Amino acid sequence: MTVVEYIAKELKSRGVKYVFGIPGGPSINLIDELRKSGIEFILTSNESAAGIMADVTGRLTGIPGICHATFGPGATNLSTGIGGAMLDRSPVIALTSVMPEKLRKRTVQMNIDHQLLFEPLTKASVIVNNDNITGVLKDAFELATDEYPGPVHLGLPSDKLLERVNEKKSYPVETESRKELLIDDELIELLEYSKRPLLALGLTASRAGIRDEIHKFLEKYPVPVVLTPMAKGLVNQDHYCYCGVLFHASSDKLSAVINEADLVIGLGYDPVEYNYESWLPDVPLIHINTVYTDMPEGIMVKQVTGALEGLLSMILPVLRTKPGWDFEFIADCRDSIHDAVMEETGRFSPVTVLKVLRETMPDNLIMSLDVGSHIHLFGQYWNPGPEGRLIMTNGWSTMGFGIPAAIAAALNMPEAPVACVTGDGGFLMMCGEMVTARRLNLGIVFIVLCDRELNLIKIKEQRKGVKNIGVDLYEGSLIGEKSFLGVPVKTCDNEESLREILSGIYPLAGPEIIEINIDPSEYNSIIVT
């Protein structure tokens, strides 16, 4: 086989359905081989969207998402999405065309060193050829899915793609097996003498799929639980142990419970979302994760690494029979967060939009969130539901994430309704992908909260006493028409019209945009900076 034939065959055998990106001249043969293998090449409007789509595909399926870009500007555009996969811990393989070896160090149109570009953004960045492709591609899949999951970059030299693969004897790659966690004397002592432990759940716990284990543990040993944003959904919001989400709206109210703890157990807690020192009280920390984590100085920490599955049942026997928590006090904390947005103001605000969406959207909704003030609101108050899912970026936190994330969700989970909530700033960054959603005929509701400004930056400037600079986006309407790039648009500026638009909106025959003109003033009272 040629190199491109081998790549297409190997991707197909591993369950890859889509490759996201924009073609370049050197990749035409590769894209043709993908077609022959039954893999669909999803053309995007921008390569950064392709990286985000590959990221979300990897999250939802467990199979590394695949994306592609051509020389120079294609690769640099792609790098934004790849950085997201790195810090949001998603398995991805990024393919870029690279110059023939004799041209790589010369002054050539569109030529930069892709390996240096992707080195800090990936777990590995390798140039492949007909001699190493079999081993490198196998290793790339293993490395992308190993803890922490993340992206691997493969450079495809334009002069090697049609050469015949030199099959070589394959030797198993030695990888560190996921060891079981050990319950040692130091860990037992910390657990035995704690009267009020607090459980902090993070991104790694969410990825480990231990939701049922957590709920069984809380039945036998009820302790208050706080979550990082990307762990939302691990514990039911109506569970009496649930407190709230760190870092997001009104999270300052969590300090009432946090400061009463005499021990914090960080289970699958990834500081890439929110550093411990930003909220940890002056008590011992047990940090349990799949990989070793760098810790700041001055924290009393017992760090344990290994597989998370089955851990909670292992530590139950050494815990006190009854933790000394007052659950009325915990309920008061939870209610104070809830009440922070429940007051009727008479304004058509993002809080009003949140309430309407909670009342009208189906329980199995997959919602993607873009970055901006609204992510703090929805990240705290949106309840994904038992069959639903909330998709966001927090480790990377790039604006423009929401639209391509929703497209990837709709492709990979076609039976579920999908919605995206974005601000007008995020929409402007990725609005070209409306054509992608339209061409693929995806029934996604794109909900655009229009406040005509970069509200989160505006709030931060005001709190620093700085005059608002660089936050005003436009005057008048964002779209103001009945369609945008061929996608139907419905506009509303009051609760009644929003309810009417959302009533029975699913199933959709194709994408729709809801342009919602909001008063953003409520953000200022609930966002914690």
Cross-strand pairs, 340: none
| Contact call for residues 283 and 300 (beta carbons, < 8 A) | yes
User: What is the tens place of the pLDDT at every residue in 193-248?
Assistant: 899 999 999 999 999 999 999 999 999 999 999 999 999 999 999 999 999 999 99
pTM: 0.95
| Contact call for residues 446 and 398 (beta carbons, < 8 A) | no
Q: Is the dihedral of CA 106, 112, 114, 118 positive or negative?
A: positive
Type of residue at 443: G
Domains of the chain: 3-157 (3.40.50.970), 185-337 (3.40.50.1220), 341-526 (3.40.50.970)
User: What is the tens place of the pLDDT at every residue in 307-358?
Assistant: 999 989 888 888 866 788 999 999 999 999 999 988 777 899 999 999 999 9
| Contact call for residues 89 and 128 (beta carbons, < 8 A) | no
Length of the chain: 529
Q: Calculate mean pLDDT across residues 408-413.
A: 98
How many other C-beta atoms lie within 10 A of the C-beta of residue 496? 10
DSSP E strands in 235-324: the ranges are 242-245, 263-267, 285-289, 301-305
| Alpha-helix runs per DSSP H in 88-235 | 114-118, 133-145, 185-192, 203-208, 211-220
d(CA 32, CA 34): 5
- Contact partners, residue 117, CB within 8 Å, separation at least 6: 75, 76, 79
Higher-confidence residue: 385 or 415? 415
| Contact call for residues 461 and 467 (beta carbons, < 8 A) | yes
Whether a cis peptide bond, with omega within 30° of 0, leads into 507 is yes
| Contact call for residues 140 and 124 (beta carbons, < 8 A) | yes
Q: Evaluate if residue 181 carries a pLDDT over 70.
A: no
Cross-strand pairs, 513: 446, 489
Strand, coil or helix: what is 514? strand
Strand, coil or helix: what is 329? helix
| Contact call for residues 54 and 65 (beta carbons, < 8 A) | yes
> Which residue, among 223, 221, 215, 271, has the nearest Cα to 246 in the 3D structure?
271
How many other C-beta atoms lie within 10 A of the C-beta of residue 51? 32
Which string of DSSP letters, residue by residue, matches 78-114?
HHHHHHHHHHTT--EEEEEEE--GGGTTS--TT---H
User: What is the tens place of the pLDDT at every residue in 455-483?
Assistant: 999 999 999 999 999 999 999 999 999 99
- At 101, the pLDDT band (50, 70, 90 cuts) reads confident
Q: Phi-psi region for residue 341, left (φ > 0), alpha (ψ -120 to 50) or beta?
A: alpha
How many other C-beta atoms lie within 10 A of the C-beta of residue 298? 8
